[in-house]
Amino acid sequence: AHSLYLGTRLAETAGTIEVSVDGGTPVSVALGVPGEDALVRWPLGEYGAGEHVVSALHTGAQGTYFYFDFLEVAAAAASLPECDPIPDYTLATDWDTDHSLAVAPERTAWMIDSLGFRGRANHYVGALWFYELLRQGHQYASATVEFIAAPAPSQISELKIGRVGEPPERRTVIQHLNNAGDTEETLARAFELEINRGYTAIRAVADGPRLTIFARAMGNEGNNITIEAGPAGFVEVSGPTLTGGVDGEWRTDLQATPRLNRAVRDWSRSYYAALTARGIDVTAAFSMELQHGDPSVEAGIAQRYPDGLPALLNTPALQTNFSPPSRTFWKAVYLEMAGLLAEAGHVPYLQFGEVQWWYFPNGSGMPLYDAYTRERFRAEHGRDPRIATSNHEAPALFAEELGFWSRLLGEFTAEIMTHVRAVHPDCRFEVLYPPDVNETGFNRLLNYPAEHWTPAALDCLKTESFTYTFLRDLNLCQESIDFSRSKGFPRSKRAHLVGISDPTTAWEREGRLARGEVEAVVLFALDQFCLVGYGLRLAEGARRALRQG
């Protein structure tokens, strides 16, 4: 017997479906879950060999949907087949995807190993969730309760706490039996002690006869808490609800120690240890992107276009610059990750993953004009940098600017390498360089500091060219592969990253082109390899496609 599964989504917008197999009794399945949006494999039962007909009918309310993804047949087995080892290939992993966030690190390492990929692993630590967060500009909602007279002994003073729209009978009633000698001040203190004893929605602070009640929920959510007080004439409330709650904005905490948050530290430590046990080397990669990076001028970490707008990417993330606050943050990040690699038994290997200045302009020009960069250029050259309106500018017109910008990039990577090697002298470093988005003469000079990124300084130059892959242009892919050789890097210090998300491209052929020229071919990425459902073993022949007719 084989198990049959329906692939669909649990989502706030999902409705109810009726599913039947081979005309059997339909089973109603409710897929709507508030606040959710997740893929699921829904078990339909076990069936014997042969043809089967699955019917799935959306029966939900108007405005809800049935998200059909796949039908899957799975055969139970005690063990998986052994895959032939591929010593110079690997599948990249990404902390920002569910193969990291939602899968045990030991399982991710097992998947890579069991599929036969034994090349140096490439783990992108991400741009979205690896750092600590703080919330700027937020305020907790609050209300004040003023005890203006002490009720007579044996009377009951009370507060009623609820939520906007909630029936009165569901509100929480907090009471105090007035004792002889109670005053307005002791009543406020009594309610403070009771509320702080264990209520999860609110907390309280007493100051004389005034009790201030704060929402525990951050921001605007606290404004939905209702409050009443009694008895009338003895107590006054500032309003029917808590007020003043402001959501604020989550930002990367640039000062937190450690900079890497607990989740990524624990997952990475376990993942690296699992790879060590399987004899697989690994590189940890960062690019200069922060989903919650502060784009304000005051923070000073954002790359900026000539019109002053920050460089916000569709990752979504902020592209950071090379100012002192930014350098201080990234030096700490790289050093902490080197420590995790060493702790797990690896000689640390770190990647500068797309640390270059960004590649494209907005309507006003290239993102090269933050305050730090402008002021430093002005100090060195006695004038403001010229405005590069596009990445197709003639390099000769920007000779001083391109030399300065490129040197700034090289100094940044050199400073991080020096900082990390002061603690881990054996730490290895590589640069990920994309020739496709640097194909203009302007970008080639801007984004490659030749005096810093040399075979003597770096342990590897890794190339990628997803654009060329998706254009299905193997000639350009070959040029990308050859780029590191043109910079003097020997085969032992060259690697190539191949995008595999589109199964109609010649990514396998690109991998074979690279295989004989580099020490490692990285397929991006594990989740795409599994979700697309690529087969093993990978093709090795010099096959070609030809369209006739």
* Cβ atoms of residues 519 and 492 within 8 Å: yes
Which residue has 């690109």 as its token pair?
510
| Span 434-451, average pLDDT | 97
pLDDT tens digits, one per residue of 24-44:
999 999 999 998 999 899 999
Is the pLDDT at 548 greater than 60? The verdict is no
Q: Are the C-beta atoms of 349 and 427 separated by less than 8 Å? A: yes
The amino acid that residue 477 corresponds to is C
pTM of the model: 0.85
Instruction: Determine phi and psi for 503, rounding to 5 degrees.
Output: -70, -10
d(CA 75, CA 83): 18
pLDDT at 82 over 90: no
Which whole number is the average pLDDT over 215-225?
96
pLDDT band for position 273 (cuts 50, 70, 90) = very high
Instruction: Say yes or no to pLDDT of 544 above 80.
Output: no
Percent of the chain residues topping a pLDDT of 70: 98
**Residue the block writes with tokens 């300084």:** 457
Mean pLDDT of 169-182: 94
Q: What is the predicted pLDDT for the residue at 159?
A: 97
- pLDDT digit string (tens) for 135-154? 999 999 999 999 999 888 99
CA distance linking residue 321 with residue 335, whole number of Å: 19
Instruction: Kindly list the strands in the beta sheet with 172-177, ordered across the sheet, starting from the edge strand earlier in the chain.
Output: 172-177, 156-163, 225-230
HSE at residue 49, side-chain half, CA atoms within 13 A, is 0
234-256 residues labelled b (16+ CB within 10 A) or e (exposed): bbebbeebbeebeeeeebbbbee
Q: Which tokens in the block code for residue 546?
A: 């030809």
With a cut of 80, say whether residue 63 has pLDDT above it: yes
**DSSP one-letter code for 108:** H
Helix (H) / strand (E) containing 412: helix 399-421
pLDDT at residue 541, rounded to an integer: 63
Question: Per-residue pLDDT for 121 more than 70?
Answer: yes
Q: What is the mean pLDDT of residues 522-534?
A: 93
pLDDT at 111 over 90: yes
State how far the Cα of 420 lies from the Cα of 125, in Å rounded to an integer.
17
- In angstroms, the CA 55 to CA 397 distance is 66
In this predicted structure, the answer to whether residue 545 has a pLDDT above a threshold of 70 is no
Both tokens assigned to 150: 């002490």
CA 435 – CA 481 distance, rounded (Å) = 9
- pLDDT computed for residue 365 by the predictor: 98
